[in-house]
Chains A and B, each alone.
Chain A
Amino acid sequence: MSVPVLTVENLKVHFAINKSVGFLRSETSSLRAVDGVSFEMYEGETLGVVGESGCGKSTLGRAILQLVDKTDGRIVWLGDDLGELDRQTMDQKRKEIQIIFQDPLSSLNPRMTVGDTIEQPLRRFHPEMDGTAREEAVREMMRNVGLDPNLRNRYPHEFSGGQCQRVGIARAMILNPKLVVCDEPVSSLDVSTQAQIVALLRKLQRDTGTSILFISHDLSIVRMMCKRILVMYLGRIVEVSTREELFEDARHPYTRALMSAVPIPEPDPERPPPTILEGEVPSPLDPPKGCVFHTRCPQATRWCEKEVPPLHEVSATHRAACHYWNGEDELAAESPR
């Protein structure tokens, strides 16, 4: 853990939204999907990005792959600012950065056999390989992700969701990428399949040493995959920390509420009810002033309505964007909302 492989600096991705406000008139406003996100990733690291829908986690992943245009900020990959590269150079970088999507079926080409799908990246990036070598690589990759190589001429619709996701993983891994962005890779799968895919990703990560940016709404899955976790809310990082510190000592009220909302698979009538956050996530078209979480925060004060809290350093490996990161004492001193 010395030099980061990926550095994201103050990344902003805003989308222009046209809304009609009358006959032939429209207003453009901007949707702040990602709004000033900075972090680093190290070699061989699995970094988790957690948050609910609309927090910008998928947009963040797509922005790293240059699949959406950033509005501001820098994405530095092994010394290169990806936003500054010309198209050809960027295309070559895609060899190093791959993505696995949430919906396993719709992210595969229905008219292509799964073997051809897995082979495609080799054709594109390794023209020096001949057909036999590619075929051998495809078969080995299929074995590595737990697919029977004899199924290489089948089509995606003949496969279950879990198998399709294995194909997606094989396609991403066959180039030996240095970074794989996994965007909710197990969310659409059944529990038993979910466990299989998580185990597979962990094994591949161990065997290849690739870095993984693991995007998920599910804290219990992220916890199994990642040693470091980043929590997002409404386009911003609210807390980032090692897994242990986050689960033992979360400092942001949103992180705590998120943990408390995960239903525990164990009946217990005595269990206190989870922390219930009021209301819903505000619109990213018009995010709240001050701390973006203050409209739902159980402990928000006037300070939170006025001033955006910076990412305070809780420890060398733990930062939280809450004015009251350091406990209740200060909270008592402030007048409540």
Chain B
Amino acid sequence: MSRPLLKCRDLCVRFAVKGGTVEAVQDLSFRVERGECVGIVGESGSGKTQGVLAIMGLLPRNGTATGSAVYKGQELLGAPRRSLDKIRGESISMIFQDAMAGLTPFMRIGDQLCEVLVEHQGLSRDDARERATEVLRIVQFPQPKRRFNMYPHELSGGMRQRVMIALALLCRPELIIADEPTTALDITIQAQILEFLKGLRRHTETSIIMITHDLGVAANLCDRIIVMYAGRMVESGSVYDIFARPQHPYTQALLRATPRLDADPDGEIPLLPGRPPDLEHLPVGCAFVPRCPWASDECGRRRPELRRRFGEHLAACFVEQAP
């Protein structure tokens, strides 16, 4: 394998809050190869979104990021605003969950799309308009010409999400970071957008970081999966290994708790009792201890480091062999 497109090492994200700090992400290290789709899964508060916001330099004011995030040889953390803008506009783009928040409410969608092209690619207004219409067609936006001058609020949720994806694709980025892009959408619209992203992966070399809480979405789109819990990566591996032989008890519990259409509908619902720890008061040992079926005294005293299990598969658990 050649040099990865993106390489994060020991990424930490802290937020200053009243009366202390919240460690939203700790020691996150991962890489994204060219053409690869990496899924980051976890429940709310697991740090999956804050991690990528830090990489993109989009943390809110009270947040600080340490560690390193190297994109094509260039360090992103602490990079000057100008070079970040250039990378964000031309090479990495982001799709947010809430398309209404990702679009400017008082600008016509056509203008928003053209602005990017004029700004970053130096196209003329007319060329920009043509290219924007073309990209809207690619993302299967219905009747792009007729809707070019509409405002975001005049569109349905699915159409707005398509405009966001079009915005993300405009400059032919090498990396797309998608943060729960289909969570707010109806299931038939989600299916359309997932198929589109799959097609994009087949036809281009675009890499994708897919942040999702939905293991079904991850299973269908990603090559590799990172599972996060309470701000830390607890497991990572190929999509097949994560689903076929998960090593961390949290991953296993998450998989069991995910409803599936082929499970016995009247069977006992496998429960993961309790809830994630308060990030302001993380325990000394493994953060999963209170919910873990295998926890021993050692787990409470010491935090297990990520260890290689087989191949490239990592898991942070003292228990060697999943019972």
Contacts and interface: CB of A to CB of B under 8 A. Distances in A.
B186 A199 contact: no
B192 interface: yes
A157 interface: no
Contact of A247 (B157, B216, B261): B261
A261 B219 contact: no
A218 interface: yes
Contacts of A221: 259
Interface string B160-197: 00000000000000000000000000111111101100
A279 B159 CA distance: 10
B149 interface: no
A280 B194 CA distance: 15
Interface residues of B, number: 44
Contact of B261 (A190, A191, A264, A267): A264
Contacts of A151: none
A263 B217 contact: yes
Contact of B253 (A52, A192, A247, A279): A192
A195 interface: yes
Nearest to A279: B142
B239 interface: yes
Contacts of A52: 186-189
Interface stretch (B70-78, B94-102, B270-278, B297-305): B270-278
A19 to B, nearest CB: 13
B142 A263 contact: no
B191 A265 contact: no
Contacts of A280: 142, 156, 158-159, 189
Contacts of B198: 273
Given A263-B214, A266-B219, 18 more contacts: A191-B215, A192-B254, A194-B259, A195-B272, A196-B273, A217-B186, A218-B187, A220-B261, A223-B259, A224-B259, A224-B269, A261-B190, A262-B261, A263-B220, A264-B216, A264-B219, A264-B220, A265-B260
Given A190-B213, A258-B188, A265-B255, A195 B269 contact: yes
A38 interface: no
A275 to B, nearest CB: 8
Interface string A265-300: 111000101101101110000000000000000000
Interface in B287-316: none
A323 B210 CA distance: 41
30 contacts: A52-B186, A53-B186, A162-B275, A191-B43, A191-B213, A191-B214, A191-B215, A192-B272, A194-B259, A195-B271, A196-B271, A198-B259, A217-B187, A218-B187, A223-B265, A224-B269, A257-B188, A258-B187, A260-B191, A261-B188, A261-B190, A262-B216, A263-B194, A263-B217, A264-B216, A264-B260, A265-B215, A271-B220, A273-B195, A273-B198
Contacts of A258: 187-188
A225 to B, nearest CB: 9
B265 A219 contact: no
A192 B275 CA distance: 8
Contacts of B269: 195, 198-199, 202, 224
Interface in A65-84: none
Interface of B: 43-44, 142, 156-159, 186-192, 194-195, 198, 213-220, 239-240, 243, 253-255, 257-262, 265, 269-273, 275
- The 7 nearest A-B residue pairs measured at CB: A263-B216, A220-B259, A261-B191, A52-B186, A190-B43, A192-B272, A195-B257
A192 B191 CA distance: 23
A325 to B, nearest CB: 20
Nearest to A197: B269
A304 to B, nearest CB: 18
Contact of B259 (A190, A195, A259, A260): A195
A265 B243 contact: yes
A263 B259 CA distance: 10
A191 B258 contact: yes
Nearest to A260: B191
A318 interface: no
A160 interface: yes
A32 interface: no
Contacts of A198: 259, 269
Contacts of B214: 191, 263
Contacts of A263: 190-191, 194, 214, 216-217, 219-220
A194 to B, nearest CB: 7
A54 B84 CA distance: 41
Interface in A226-283: 243, 247, 257-267, 271, 273-274, 276-277, 279-281
B192 to A, nearest CB: 6
Contacts of B187: 52, 217-219, 258, 261-262
Nearest to B256: A195
Nearest to B192: A276
B311 to A, nearest CB: 16
A198 B240 CA distance: 28
